[in-house]
Structure 1
Amino acid sequence: MITLSKLAKTFQTRDGQVTAVDHIDLSIEKGEIFGVIGYSGAGKSTLIRLLNMLETPSSGQVTVAGKNMNELSGKGLRQARQEIGMIFQHFNLLWSRTVADNIAFPLEIKGMPKSEQKKRVNELIKLVGLEGRGGSYPSQLSGGQKQRVGIARALANNPQVLLCDEATSALDPKTTDSILDLLVDINKKLNLTIVLITHEMHVIRKICHRVAVMENGRIAEQGPVLDIFKRPKEEMTKEFVKQVTEPEETEEAIRHLFKDDGIGRVLQLTFTGSDAKRSLITDVVRKYDVSVSILQGKISQTQHGSYGSLFVSVTGDNQLIDETIAFIRSQQVEVEVIHGE
């Protein structure tokens, strides 16, 4: 559906040339929810604007739905953009227009007859859960409702791709989850390809099939979300994963326990899918003469299954602890010794 080939974008500033996107190669499949995560300044916002040519590439190629976006201009580019909807962090609604009129705006530009416009707007209002609010103005809506209007407007022309530029960053956690649930519902009902950028790993965890981690204009790491959670390679990726897999107090609590000479070895276990439901600790205690204490743990859900992180301390004979660790690894559970030899 979307292919980027050696895509680059540079800007000239007073301080010299800045490379925002640095020769990226990327493929996104039809019907996929693909996330791009990175800290501020990583280049992710520029990247998503290159997909619909709101920014012109300095070099490289963008192909969307079989069309080479680089070669398009004027009417051809406008037609191609009708296949690509976009929603924004701050909604970008027309404040003097009602909900229905905001949603109808791209249909007016397209020249759709009024009767067809009304029918399509009613369909979209129902799809995004805004029944009864068609006559309201943006100032009368909550943040979540405003974003639902933005989503409906972006879907007006039946696009094949929906771009989400930090679409939940201005929302509270509960509203964020409701908008993410809506995006998943739309993805399934319409087989819509969704590309979203964010700095929140919770967003990636909840709805994305695959993710790319951006740093300094490059993709540092990419892959299926469950794989990235289970085996993050880059330090920045590990930081993002910790946002949702470890309680905030985990590091502090375990560091406090390090002062106790009797804590033994502290292990971090990570597991996915059906492994999260197994009685691994019980199996260990039955099999080996060691003591196991659970320090912290958390299980999170992704689109492709559950992911868990568990911190335990193991005390006993060193050889038995080594055998315990080997046994746990043989059960397809990742083990990292974070304290003790």
Structure 2
Amino acid sequence: MISIKNLQKIFKSGTTQVQAVDDVNLNIEKGEIYGVIGYSGAGKSTFIRLLNRLEDPTSGEIVIDGEDIASLKAGRLRKARQEIGMVFQHFNLLWSRTVRENIAFPLEIAGTPKKERQERVDELIKLVGLAGREDAYPSQLSGGQKQRVGIARALANRPKVLLCDEATSALDPETTDQILDLLVDINEKLDLTIILITHEMHVIRKISHRVAVMEEGKVVEEGDVLDVFLHPKEKVTKRFVEQIMGDQDQDEAVETILAQYQTGQVVRLHFVGEKTNQALISEVSREFPSVSFNILQGKITQTSKGAYGTLYVHMDGTEEDINKAIEYISETSVQVEVNHHVS
């Protein structure tokens, strides 16, 4: 669906050059919710503006549904942009227009006949959950309602791709979840490809199928969301994962708890998918009655690809028995990481 090759964007100011996007290569499948995450200055907002040519690339290809929009001239580019919807962080609504009129605006620009325009607006109002608010002005709407208008407007011309630039950053946590649920619903109903730009790992965890991590203009890590959670390779990725899993806080808490133990080992168990719901510790306790197990701390979080959990366990017994228990756990496909040797 989308193939990005050797994409670069260099901003020049006098003798100074800033490489905002540096040789990015990505492939995004049709119907996928694809997340791009990075801290401020990583280049992610410039990247998304390149995808609909709000910024012209310095070099590289952006092939969407077989057409390289990076090389399009003005006339064809205007039509191509109608197939790429954009949702902004601060809504960008027309304050003198009602909800209905805001949603209809891109259809007016495209020259859509009035009757067809009205029918399309009615469809979208229902789709985004704004029935009864058609004649309200933006000043009369909550933040979540404003963003629903922004999403409906972005869908007006039936785009192939929906770009979301920090679409939930201005919203409170509860409203953020509601908007993310709406995006999932739209993705499933319309088979729409969605690209999310964000600095919040919660957004990626909740709805993205795959994620690219950007730092200093480069994609430093990319893969399925669950794989990235389980095996973050880069320091920046580990920081993002800690936003959700709180590994640093867990480690500090475990260190405090360990002070009361004089023997044994502390292991961290990584559970994936169905394994998060199985009574593993009870099972291992029955198999190895000579080893005592104390659960110190744990957390389970859901991703779009399944559950992922960590559990800290103190194991006490002979070294031989503990090693056998660890080997037994490893054979269940639960990953075991020995964090501390107390004795």
TM-score, with length taken from structure 1: 0.96
Aligned residue in 2 for 1:22: 22
Q: Distance in 2 between matches of 1:114 and 1:333?
A: 59
Q: How many residues align?
A: 341
Aligned residue in 2 for 1:201: 201
Residue 107 of structure 1 aligns to a residue whose secondary structure is helix
Q: Is the 8 A contact 1:33 1:195 kept in 2?
A: yes
Alignment of 1:152-163 (within 5 A): 152-163=152-163
Q: Distance in 2 between matches of 1:190 and 1:53?
A: 24
Alpha-carbon deviation of 1:249? 4.4
Aligned residue in 1 for 2:298: 297
Aligned residue in 2 for 1:42: 42
Amino acid at match of 1:262: Q
Q: Is the 8 A contact 1:246 1:297 kept in 2?
A: no
User: Which has the higher mean CA deviation after the structures are superposed, 23-32 or 109-118?
Assistant: 109-118
Q: Is the 8 A contact 1:187 1:194 kept in 2?
A: yes
| RMSD of equivalent CA atoms | 1.6
CA offsets 1:117-145 (integer angstroms, 9 cap, x no match):
11111110000000010100001000000
CA offsets 1:287-331 (integer angstroms, 9 cap, x no match):
222221112212212222211111222222222222222222221
Q: Is the 8 A contact 1:212 1:222 kept in 2?
A: yes
1:335 aligns with 2:336: yes
Alpha-carbon deviation of 1:245? 2.3
| Structure 2, gaps ≥5 residues long | none
User: Which has the higher mean CA deviation after the structures are superposed, 9-18 or 146-155?
Assistant: 9-18
1:324 aligns with 2:329: no
Alignment of 1:1-341 (within 5 A): 1-13=1-13, 16-246=16-246, 249-262=249-262, 264-288=264-288, 289-340=290-341
CA offsets 1:16-67 (integer angstroms, 9 cap, x no match):
2111111011000000000011111111111111111111111111111111
Residue 107 of structure 2 aligns to a residue whose secondary structure is helix
Q: Is the 8 A contact 1:83 1:161 kept in 2?
A: yes
Structure 1 residue runs of 4+, over 3 Å off? 246-249
| Structure 1, gaps ≥5 residues long | none
Q: Is the 8 A contact 1:89 1:166 kept in 2?
A: yes
Amino acid at match of 2:293: V
CA offsets 1:158-210 (integer angstroms, 9 cap, x no match):
00100000000111111000000000000000000000011111111111111
Residue 158 of structure 1 aligns to a residue whose secondary structure is coil
Amino acid at match of 2:28: I
TM-score, with length taken from structure 2: 0.95
User: Which has the higher mean CA deviation after the structures are superposed, 14-23 or 136-145?
Assistant: 14-23
Alpha-carbon deviation of 1:154? 0.1
Q: Distance in 2 between matches of 1:193 and 1:6?
A: 21
Q: Distance in 1 between matches of 2:308 and 2:15?
A: 44
Residue 105 of structure 1 aligns to a residue whose secondary structure is helix
The percent identity for this pair of structures is 61
CA offsets 1:93-113 (integer angstroms, 9 cap, x no match):
111111111101100101112
User: Which has the higher mean CA deviation after the structures are superposed, 280-289 or 90-99?
Assistant: 280-289
Q: Is the 8 A contact 1:262 1:315 kept in 2?
A: no
Q: Is the 8 A contact 1:230 1:271 kept in 2?
A: no
